[in-house]
Amino acid sequence: MKRIGVFTSGGDAPGMNACIRAVVRTALYHGIEVYGIMRGYSGMIKGEIVRLDTTSVANIVQRGGTILKSARSQKFMTKEGRQQAFDQLVNHKIEGLVAIGGNGTFTGAMKFEEEFGIPTVGAPGTIDNDLYGTDYTIGYDTAVNTALDAIDKIRDTADSHDRAFFVEVMGRDSGYIAIPCAIGGGAEIVLVPEQQQSIDTVIETLQTARKRQKSSFLIIVAEGDEEGNATIIANKVKEAIPEMDARVTVIGHIQRGGAPSAADRLLASQIGIAAVEGLVNGMRNVMAGIVDRKLVYTPFHDTIYKKKLINQGFMRMVEILSV
């Protein structure tokens, strides 16, 4: 393999730049030319492809976002769009790909390889930490610390005014951000998509705490919880407990931004190296990840379709520590 491409796709995550840097420098270390594909599959279709060298990735390891930009592409979901993307790769003599992203990115890469034979190794770049085949994804640690910093500040005002704050964190299909934020932030309740918890249970928990003379509360809600978002849940609780002074805070997209943590920089660098060396060793349709501190390669099919379960022990910790 003489020439590879690297791209970022889907939602951005802190540490993506560190991974790009590792991919570029590992490729050069092995004597391979590397090209950056701008704006994910959309840029691949349009031929937005640029040569990268060691200078291209200097001074980016500490930067959030992605220098290659990211975009979603409806056109790549069509056979015609994938054909155009393949033609662009052929024109640039690109023989393999490193895809930094999540489920949607890997689904597209798997389909692309099946149709056109372009080998791809994935790097798990998503703050949600919901990909099977790795203990942690690039950007997750930073996102949790960003959310927790905001939650600490919210806790101060909740305590000052004897209020209940319903804090919504990201996690459309995953409670991986919400749970450590609940434990680290001293929350009374956490609501996540993976585990159904009724509004009645939430109300009962809050009423019991009020009887113990507790006056301020912190409820962490993953945005994809079955009962609804933080605003919906807060309104239902206020209907049941009118005397409760409740506020809602949606932390939002600040969780995606900012300089990556040391843990994310290290993880991104490990996985970037592993992705390139996976291609060099003939791997295809796999994601590089770290499980039990060991490098593993998981087939895209498993990464996409197998469920990464939440740690029930952590859920029990929230219950115990809220007493």
**Do 36 and 61 lie in a common domain?**
yes
Residue 103 labeled ligand binder: yes
**What is the residue-level pLDDT of the chain in tens, covering all 323 positions?**
899 999 999 999 999 999 999 999 999 999 999 999 999 999 999 999 999 999 999 999 999 999 999 998 999 999 999 999 999 999 999 999 999 999 999 999 999 999 999 999 999 999 999 999 999 999 999 999 999 999 999 999 999 999 999 999 999 889 999 999 999 999 999 999 998 888 999 999 999 888 888 889 999 999 988 888 999 999 999 999 999 999 999 999 999 999 999 999 999 999 999 999 999 999 999 999 999 999 999 999 999 999 999 889 999 998 898 87
**Do 110 and 193 lie in a common domain?**
no
- Predicted confidence (pLDDT) per residue in 54-90, tens digit: 999 999 999 999 999 999 899 999 999 999 999 999 9
Residue 255 labeled ligand binder: yes
The number of distinct structural domains making up the chain is 2
Residue 235 labeled ligand binder: no
Return the pLDDT at 272.
Answer: 98
Return the pLDDT at 319.
Answer: 87
The domain of 44 spans 3-139+260-305
Which CATH number belongs to the domain containing residue 21 in this structure?
A: 3.40.50.450
Return the pLDDT at 218.
Answer: 96
**Do 37 and 124 lie in a common domain?**
yes
CA 165, 167, 173, 174 dihedral sign is: negative
Position 148 in a domain: yes
**Do 191 and 135 lie in a common domain?**
no
The full length of the chain comes to: 323
Q: Is 128 a catalytic residue?
A: yes
Position 183 in a domain: yes
In the chain, where does DSSP find H-type helix?
16-29, 40-46, 79-91, 103-116, 140-161, 178-185, 199-211, 230-240, 262-280, 300-305, 312-321
Residue 24 labeled ligand binder: yes
Given 12, 128, 141, 225, the catalytic residue: 128
**Do 78 and 159 lie in a common domain?**
no
Residue 284 labeled ligand binder: no
**Do 218 and 116 lie in a common domain?**
no
Which residue type is seen at 304? I
Return the pLDDT at 212.
Answer: 87
Cα distances from 39 to residues 25, 44, 72, 148, in angstroms, run 21, 8, 8, 30
**Do 224 and 239 lie in a common domain?**
yes
Residue 171 labeled ligand binder: yes
**Do 194 and 274 lie in a common domain?**
no
**Do 33 and 111 lie in a common domain?**
yes
**Do 239 and 279 lie in a common domain?**
no
Which residue type is seen at 134? T
Position 315 in a domain: no
Whether 162 contacts 178, CB under 8 Å: no
Which residues are within 8 A (CB) of 211 and not within 5 positions of it... i.e. 6 or more apart? none
**Do 48 and 26 lie in a common domain?**
yes
